[in-house]
Structures are given as C-alpha cells and as structure tokens.
Amino acid sequence: MSFLHASMVSRLGIATGCVRATRGAAAAAVAASAFAFAASVGPAPVHAAPAAVGGAPDLAWAGRCPADPAGRPAQACIPRHAHGACAGHACVRVRLLHAFGAEPDDGRRPADGLALGPDGALYGAASGGGEHGFGRLFRLCVDGKETVLHDFRGRPGDGADPLAPPTPDGAGGLVGTTHLGGAHGLGSVYRLDASGAMRLLHSFAGGLHDGAHPQAPLLRARDGSFYGTTRDGGAHGAGLLFRLDPRGAYEALRSLGGGADALADPIGALAELDDGRIVATASGGGRHGLGGVFDYRPGSRKLHTLVSLGAGSDCAMPMAGLVRARDGRLIATAYAGGPDNAGCVFSVSDSGQYQVLYALRGADDGAQPLSVPLEADDGSLYLSSSLGAAHGDGALLRLDVNGCPLVLHAFGRADVSVPSGALLRAADTRIYGTAPYGGTYDEGGIFVVFRPEPYAAGLAHAGGSLNAPESTPARPRAACSPRSPRRSAP
C-alpha cells in the first residue's frame, strides 16, 4: 500500500504533507529527521560486492561500475541517465496507458500493482471512486480498454478501499482483500467468481484473535491455498498472518510482534520458497524497530525473523514485499535507510544472509522506493522510486548485475506520479505498473514501459510477482479481448 494514505503515514511516524495537492507540483519530500535513526547515521556499512544474479554484466550503457575505496561498489555507482542517443538498455519508452478519474463514477487511486490473468489481461483495483465511492475491481487489456468487474459497496455486506490487486484463483475467478468494509468495517477477504458473483469469504474482526486492515496482495501457494497478512490486529496489535484453504475457509495463523526481535506491520507482497516456507517483509518492529524479513514454516506453524533492518545507515522500513530471483535469493526494496536515507535495494538468502545491492541517492535516481523489483533475463533488476529524481515524482531504474544504476525515466509532468507496487511483465514482454497520483486527471494511472525494436527482447517476469504457482505458469492468449462488464447483483 502506498505511503500516501494518511493512516500509514501516521502509523510509521513519517512527516506529513506527502499528498500532492495539484498535478504538476513536485511530490513533497519525506524529511529525513522523521526517522528515529536519521540523527545517528554514520559511515555506511561495508558490504561485499553483490553476486551476479545471472547472466553476464551489461556494460553497454556506461562501462564498468567504478570501484569504491571503502569497498562499497553499490554505493559508489553514479546514476547515469538515458538521455541522448538511444542505445541498448537505455532505449525504453514510458507511456500512460490508462488514466483514472475520467468520469464522476470512475475508479480513483489505483492499488499498488497489477495481476496477470490467464487470458493475458491485467487485473487490478482502484482504492477509491467507483459507482458507490468505495473502490472497484477492473480488467484492462494491454491496449488500455477497461472492463469494470465490481464496484464495492462498503460495510456490512461488501468490502471497501482495496489497497492491493486481486489474485487469480486458478478457476477463472479472483481472490483479494479490502482494507476497510466487511461486517466490522476492518476489512475483508472476497472472491469474485468467473460469473461475476461477489462473495465475502471473511470479515476481519480485529482484537486478539483476528487481524484488521489488510494491505498486501494474497499469495497463491503451490497447494492452492492463499496466504495474506493484516497490518493491524492480532495478539500484539502488530498484524497477523492468515491462510485461506482452496475452498476459501479462513484461518488465522500467527500474530506478529510480541518479542525483542519480533517484526510488525506487514504490508508487502509475500513469496513462497521451494521448501514451502512463506516469506514476507514487515515495515516495523525487529531489533531496531525499523522492520525486516520473516518466514513462516507451515509444518511447525512458527514465525522466524530472518533479518532485522535499520542499524546505522542500513536499509530500513521495507514496504513493498519481495521477489524470488532465479539464483534463489529474495530481493526487495526498503523505503528508507542508506547513506542518504533515500531507501535501498537489498537481498536475503533462505538462511537469512543479508546484502545491500544499491542505495538510492534522492536527486539523481529518486528516493523512497515502494516497488517490488522485476528481474530480467540478463539478471538486471527494474524498479521504481516514488519520490525525487528530475521532477520530484520518482524514477524508473535499471540495476545491472554489478548493482550499477541507469535512470531510464523520470516520472511526472506528462505521465504519473509516485509509482508504487510490483512491476509486472505481461505476455507482450512490456512492463506495466501503477501510480496513485498524476495521470490526465491527477487520480492516478497505469503506465507501460516498452522498448522499440530491436531492443524489445530480454525481459522476463519476476517469480512471485504474478501471484501464481511457478509449477503452473499462466499461458496467456495472444490477444486480449474486451468483455462485457461483470457486476455483482445488488
């Protein structure tokens, strides 16, 4: 979920004033002093050079990554910009595919990220607007044609304010969560079946034994069950991990918080490891109070903190979830931390071995990333920053296998602002993403990243970002055909 929602801003102690008032104005910078650790930031920790994610380093754009006397190659890389002649990986284009807010009852503020359906279409949610003002679910062809699937009605019989995209259920339907609504107004889990019928599978009740206010997309595990988290509720008020079996039966699994190094406030996407463990990020708690990565073992039903972030100028407050790279590492972004407190990219092994891959700089390549990285065939990573860069509205970046950055695009002006959520590669090899601000009507939009030929090859989807089991990958059709609107009966 985007940090722009006031509830999260207040909960995480970030300086307010982040919401843009008008299109064209730069997104307000998040004050470094808002973070408790900022005053004590010292020299950046020394990290070993990042191991190659796979493939050979791509050096076409700027030559080798410059060495750093302190042994910090990731921090030493100077961001380069894809200006001037079009060559190699610098040759990309970003276009606004769909703008929200065109009609009075249109959706507004798209949720973080999209899901790819087996039909080749993009599925997502708008956190506000719609016929009843409580958000909507939509289907979007890659040519920008939209179909409304459901307009939420709010409590008590329906959800409200979905902050994450839905997850395809493998049977032609969608399963997802809403941040509010449901019987108790604390959020819900819903299923929209293939016929368009909407049903609430669970209404969150909060308190000691249930969660409240889910923000992360659901993960469909290999056994057909779904895992998710809530930001609030549970035994310690720090969130909860839950599971839905393939039939939709709900079970609260474990509460977060409650220990010296226990993590809290999970809001990012989850992933499944080969051994069946469920892993996720948490934006708070941990040894330093600034979040980390945890895993859940279904066999023992125990939570375990893999990494606590936030020591010194380390990465801190991961908000966007993580992705499994082809070499087995988990890769994620952190909203804060790094020498400039602008956030960073890091990796964690299955055993908890942690490594900083790159620290953002703010003015050059943006700051405060809220995206899940996307891994390409050559091992490079694509991600977005939500603030900073040329127009103050974030940037699209590419990190090569040495951790050296290339700024591909500065958001703002003619497209979108504050991009957030997972980047998604569709069947057409293009990358798609969402932003809750900017667009034609300043209600957010969906953007597409593409390369003109002959540079269109070489992108591959990031495992886990499609919320589908790797053993049963989606097989999208060559073309996406618009459907008739599928609205639930009142």
pLDDT digit string, tens, across residues 378-395? 899 999 999 999 999 999
* pLDDT at residue 236 greater than cutoff 90: yes
Indicate the range of 73-87, 99-113, 223-237, 397-411 predicted with least confidence.
73-87
Whole-number pLDDT of residue 480:
55
Indicate the range of 16-25, 242-251, 265-274, 328-337 predicted with least confidence.
16-25
Cβ atoms of 267 and 1 closer than 8 Å: yes
Rounded Cα distance, 393 and 25, in Å = 9
* pLDDT at residue 147 greater than cutoff 70: yes
* pLDDT at residue 189 greater than cutoff 70: yes
Peptide bond connecting 490 to the previous residue in cis, omega within 30 degrees of 0? no
Whole-number pLDDT of residue 377:
87
**469 Cβ partners below 8 Å, 6+ apart?**
220, 221, 222, 272
pLDDT digit string, tens, across residues 49-100? 222 222 222 222 222 334 333 333 333 445 565 544 444 455 678 999 999 9
Cβ atoms of 197 and 487 closer than 8 Å: no
Neighbours of 257 (CB within 10 A): 19
Cβ atoms of 241 and 232 closer than 8 Å: no
Q: Quick one: pLDDT band at residue 210, thresholds 50, 70, 90? A: very high
Q: Quick one: pLDDT band at residue 414, thresholds 50, 70, 90? A: confident
Percent of the chain with pLDDT over 70: 73
Radius of gyration over every alpha carbon of the chain, rounded to an integer in angstroms? 21
* pLDDT greater at residue 471 or residue 154: 154
Q: Tell me the average pLDDT of the chain.
A: 79
> 3-state SS of 453-479?
CCCCCCCCCCECCCCCCCCCCCCCCCC
Rounded Cα distance, 110 and 135, in Å = 9
**Phi and psi angles of residue 68, each rounded to the nearest 5 degrees, phi first:** -120, 130
pTM: 0.80
pLDDT digit string, tens, across residues 275-318? 999 999 999 999 999 999 999 999 999 999 999 999 877 899 99
Rounded Cα distance, 248 and 246, in Å = 5
**426 Cβ partners below 8 Å, 6+ apart?**
116, 120, 122, 142, 432, 476
Whole-number pLDDT of residue 82:
54
* pLDDT greater at residue 44 or residue 196: 196
Both tokens assigned to 372: 């899940």
Rounded Cα distance, 287 and 283, in Å = 12
**Phi and psi angles of residue 118, each rounded to the nearest 5 degrees, phi first:** -65, -15
Whole-number pLDDT of residue 489:
36
Whole-number pLDDT of residue 90:
58
Cα angle: 158, vertex 114, 467; to 5 degrees: 90
> Mean pLDDT over residues 160-188, rounded?
97
Whole-number pLDDT of residue 444:
96
pLDDT digit string, tens, across residues 429-480? 899 999 999 999 999 999 999 874 433 444 433 333 322 222 222 333 334 5
Whole-number pLDDT of residue 30:
31
Domains and CATH numbers, the chain: 6-450 (2.130.10.10)
Q: Is 35 strand, coil or helix?
A: coil
Q: Quick one: pLDDT band at residue 345, thresholds 50, 70, 90? A: very high
